[in-house]
Amino acid sequence: MSQIEVSEKAKLPSFSIIVETENLASAELEGLYLSLDSIASQDISPELAKEVLILESGDVPQEMMEQLTNKYPWLSMRRITADVDYYAAKMTGVSLTTGDVIVLADSDCIYQQNWLRNLLAPFAEDNNVNVVAGETTTSARGAYGLAIALTYIFPRFSHSNNLEKTQYYFCNNVAFRRSFLLKYPIPLNLPVCRGNCVIHANYLIKQGETIWKQPKSRASHAAPNGKAHFVWRFLLYGYDALQIYRLKRTEKKTIFQPILDLFISLALGLYKVMIAGKRLIDVAIENPRYLLNLPIAIFIALSSLLLYFVGLAISYFKPNYFLSKEGKVEVNWEHS
């Protein structure tokens, strides 16, 4: 499939944008303005959307909500209860919107100007396209930014120009055809903090479906904000890694399963270190001046890796440690 330009309004599929604010409890509220400004600056006006919906769980003050709707008249807001988690909020938004294509975005991401156009273009080109994932990364500026760029969830931009098949997507930068997402909803109530989209992607591929990656739809994600957020993010990142493997596993458990899980844990840890090394090379190619911060960044990066390994160990020895009675991860890192 080749990349195309969608220049006529008539060629665009009808679309809705869903922005959730669950992350705002651990980030600066000003980040929401930056995110919405980036949506407002798209070369496809958000006014063309059926809805641009913010799902608000109590993190945004009422006065700020009024300011937002005044500044962005195309924005609509719906309150959801505080106990609705990240992925449940996404699926709740689907039921409240009407576009043929559902674009999922986050309040702690800034989107490049042609992000929306490039994300929608494949749907306009081919009716068989059902999922298009953009690329999300973090800034490598400063010592902290460099450390996060090396060890956090998001890879560096590929700088590719071609649409290609992929094995995953991030819920902060992805679009689904509505009918497809209703047929294959994102699974909820899993024993992970942020792995539902990984399980969902794995399931879609097993069903013979294709996830397309659009490298021209780029987003910049905020780094973990504050010490508590940093600690819990990387701790749960490691915890999720082994839990996700267990959820993806299709073979029956055997008496050798603990040994196999131990080897998988070691492999996940080694792979994480290798990825950090690869990203260091990517960052050096991206901008060699970023490496001036490496002497300080390396200590932060090593701290994040240590937390990741601790999370893996907890997942191996105490897999239910973070789980509530309902089997969901419940950690309030914002107030820890």
Could you tell me if 100 and 247 lie in one domain? Answer: no
Per-residue pLDDT of the chain (336 residues; tens, 9 = 90+): 433 344 444 488 999 999 987 655 544 577 888 999 999 999 999 999 999 999 877 767 778 788 888 999 999 988 887 778 889 989 999 999 999 999 999 989 999 999 999 999 999 999 999 999 999 999 999 999 999 999 999 999 999 999 999 999 999 999 999 999 999 999 999 999 999 999 999 999 999 999 999 999 999 999 998 899 999 999 999 999 999 999 988 767 778 888 999 999 999 999 999 999 999 999 999 999 999 999 999 999 999 999 999 999 999 999 999 988 778 887 765 533
What pLDDT is attached to residue 256?
82
Could you tell me if 319 and 238 lie in one domain? Answer: yes
What pLDDT is attached to residue 333?
54
What pLDDT is attached to residue 24?
56
What pLDDT is attached to residue 249?
84
What pLDDT is attached to residue 10?
42
CA-based nearest residue to 51, from 94, 17, 102, 93: 17
Domain's final residue, options 205, 221, 237: 221
What pLDDT is attached to residue 129?
97
Distant-in-sequence, close-in-space partners of 210: CB < 8 Å, separation ≥ 6: 129, 130, 131, 165
Q: How many domains does the chain have?
A: 2
Give the end-to-end CA distance of the chain in Å, rounded to a whole number: 48
Could you tell me if 131 and 21 lie in one domain? Answer: yes
Domain's final residue, options 206, 221, 236: 221
> What does the DSSP 8-state code read for residue 323?
B
Could you tell me if 197 and 110 lie in one domain? Answer: yes
How many C-beta atoms lie closer than 10 Å to residue 281's C-beta?
10
- Could you give the angle at which helices 142-151 and 257-286 cross, rounded to 10 degrees? 140
Domain that holds residue 153: 9-221
